[in-house]
């Protein structure tokens, strides 16, 4: 009997301690929830924010793509003869002017080949004259010689063959020297003096880098968003804070197997610092007229809804908004704000409705283009 009474008492103690444990844990969770609720209330201290006066401005619809820089003119120069390189007058990266000498082959064999061809041509002329005299004509009377007779005379004297060989030797000598076809810069020069020029590769490349293009691709579904003459903003991945403006010049009327269309834009103004093949980020813009635009920093999410805070009477006011088009800079506001509102764009992440605020900047200059 004593054993049963003792066991009942143990069960009672265990039951009472369990109840107390649950009660204590419940109080802790209630306290934590209360603390979190207090943290969500408007702060008692005045928050410093930055704001600007909302006005209608031109909004530019954007299309973002990646591309490369290409030269508007690029020429691969080659030697036509397999002779030893005698002189190289330039190096990679050097700027050259149109007609400037770049390199030349050994001249001895080529000059002698031309001289020999010239001598053979003179001999052929004498033989041609002998043939014509035998037919009762002279070389001075060549215009009076019947066409068929002149043709037979040139064949017998080997004149046509000698003339062809002379023209080939003359051409080979002239092509033994490379000249710059236009103003530009030298690239891909790897040949050395006293060596034969590369067989299947160009001797060097001349790039006219004072006129550069941006090549990029767009989806076929994005074609209605672009047209010739549209402005393009581009920035190289390798150069920070470098921006250039271009204008769409060509749209290739062909969709490839991946559903992409090639587009080329001519870069305006100076192109210093840009190189052929450089990877760039491209932003195509088209004006959508004047709109109410807020920077992306001004929009926050509250209860899964879009909210923009405005400053009025030293308080932050909570405004539910609807947005339309967007670009990399901001959103078009279609509902919830009006021109003249003081929109908070910095210091708004922890604000609540009617939080006391102090505007430390009443206007900003932002680019919506």
Q: What is the pLDDT of residues 86-119, one digit of tens each?
A: 999 999 999 999 999 999 999 999 999 999 999 9
Average pLDDT over residues 64-81: 91
Check whether 227 has a pLDDT greater than 90.
no
- End position of a domain, from candidates 159, 175, 191: 175
Q: How far is CA 51 from each of CA 127, 219, 226, rounded to the nearest angstrom?
A: 98, 38, 34
| CA distance linking residue 228 with residue 221, whole number of Å | 17
* 137 found inside a domain: yes
Residue 146 and residue 95 in one domain: no
Range of the domain at 224: 64-72+208-288
pLDDT of residue 367: 40
Residue 342's pLDDT band (boundaries 50, 70, 90)? very high
pLDDT of residue 270: 64
* 119 found inside a domain: yes
Residue 92 and residue 187 in one domain: yes
Residue 250 and residue 336 in one domain: no
Average pLDDT over residues 303-312: 91
- End position of a domain, from candidates 223, 256, 288: 288
Tally of residues, the chain: 369
pLDDT of residue 15: 43
- Nearest 5°: CA angle at 13, between 9 and 15? 115
- Nearest 5°: CA angle at 172, between 151 and 105? 165
* 17 found inside a domain: no
Residue 68 and residue 217 in one domain: yes
Q: Output the average pLDDT for the chain.
A: 82
- End position of a domain, from candidates 238, 267, 288: 288
Residue 246 and residue 299 in one domain: no
* 25 found inside a domain: no
* 41 found inside a domain: no
* 9 found inside a domain: no
* 151 found inside a domain: yes
Q: Extract the tokens encoding 350.
A: 């922890």
Q: Tell me the CATH number at 302.
A: 2.40.420.20
Question: Which residues lie across from 213 on neighbouring strands?
Answer: 70, 266
Q: How far is CA 65 from each of CA 68, 218, 235, 287, 288, rounded to the nearest angstrom?
A: 10, 7, 11, 18, 20
pLDDT of residue 111: 93
Residue 214 and residue 273 in one domain: yes
Check whether 235 has a pLDDT greater than 80.
yes
Q: Tell me the CATH number at 244.
A: 2.40.30.170
pLDDT of residue 369: 39
Question: Which residues lie across from 161 on neighbouring strands?
Answer: none
Q: How many domains does the chain have?
A: 4
pLDDT of residue 106: 94
Q: Which of the residue ranges 18-22, 287-291, 295-299, 360-364 has the most confident prediction, judged by mean pLDDT?
A: 295-299
pLDDT of residue 306: 93
Q: Extract the tokens encoding 352.
A: 């609540």
Residue 278 and residue 161 in one domain: no
Residue with tokens 């690239």: 187
Check whether 157 has a pLDDT greater than 80.
yes
Residue 115 and residue 167 in one domain: yes
Residue 282 and residue 301 in one domain: no
- Does residue 92 or residue 273 have the better pLDDT? 92
Asked if residues 131 and 202 have their Cβ atoms less than 8 Å apart, the reply is: no
pLDDT of residue 39: 37
Residue 97 and residue 182 in one domain: yes
Residue 203 and residue 222 in one domain: no
Residue 44's pLDDT band (boundaries 50, 70, 90)? low
Check whether 23 has a pLDDT greater than 60.
no
Average pLDDT over residues 235-249: 89
Handedness of CA 369, 274, 201, 168 (dihedral sign): positive
pTM: 0.59
Q: pLDDT tens, 310-330? A: 999 989 998 999 998 888 788
* 6 found inside a domain: no
The residues near 93 (Cβ < 8 Å, ≥ 6 apart) are 185, 186, 187
Closest-CA residue to 186 (of 293, 71, 298)? 71
Residue 243 and residue 300 in one domain: no
């Amino acid at each position: 009997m004593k054993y049963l009474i003792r066991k009942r008492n143990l069960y009672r103690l265990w039951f009472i301690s369990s109840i107390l444990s649950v009660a204590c844990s419940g109080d802790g969770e209630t306290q934590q929830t209360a603390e979190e609720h207090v943290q969500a209330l408007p702060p008692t201290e005045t928050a410093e924010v930055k704001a600007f006066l909302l006005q209608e401005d031109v909004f530019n619809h954007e299309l973002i793509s990646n591309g490369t820089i290409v030269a508007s003119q690029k020429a691969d120069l080659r030697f036509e003869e397999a002779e030893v390189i005698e002189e190289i007058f330039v190096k990679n990266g050097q700027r050259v002017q149109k007609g400037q000498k770049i390199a030349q082959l050994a001249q001895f064999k080529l000059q002698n080949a031309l001289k020999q061809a010239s001598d053979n041509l003179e001999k052929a002329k004498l033989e041609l004259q002998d043939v014509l005299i035998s037919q009762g004509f002279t070389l001075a009377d060549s215009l009076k010689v019947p066409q068929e007779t002149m043709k037979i005379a040139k064949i017998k004297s080997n004149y046509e063959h000698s003339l062809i060989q002379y023209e080939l030797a003359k051409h080979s000598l002239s092509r033994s020297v490379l000249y710059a076809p236009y103003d530009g810069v030298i690239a891909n020069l790897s040949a050395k003096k006293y060596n034969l020029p590369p067989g299947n590769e160009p001797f060097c490349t001349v790039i006219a880098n004072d006129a550069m293009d941006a090549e990029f691709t767009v989806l076929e579904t994005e074609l209605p968003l672009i047209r010739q003459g549209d402005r393009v903003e581009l920035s190289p991945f390798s150069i920070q804070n470098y921006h250039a403006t271009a204008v769409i010049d060509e749209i290739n009327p062909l969709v490839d197997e991946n559903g992409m269309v090639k587009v080329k834009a001519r870069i305006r103004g100076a192109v210093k610092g840009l190189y052929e093949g450089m990877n760039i980020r491209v932003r195509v813009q088209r004006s959508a007229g004047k709109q109410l635009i807020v920077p992306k920093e001004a929009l926050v999410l509250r209860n899964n809804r879009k909210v923009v805070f405005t400053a009025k009477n030293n308080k932050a006011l909570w405004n539910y908004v609807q947005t339309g088009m967007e670009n990399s800079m901001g959103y078009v506001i279609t509902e919830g704000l009006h021109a003249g509102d003081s929109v908070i764009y910095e210091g708004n992440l922890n604000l609540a409705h009617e939080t006391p605020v102090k505007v430390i900047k009443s206007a900003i200059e932002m680019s919506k283009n």
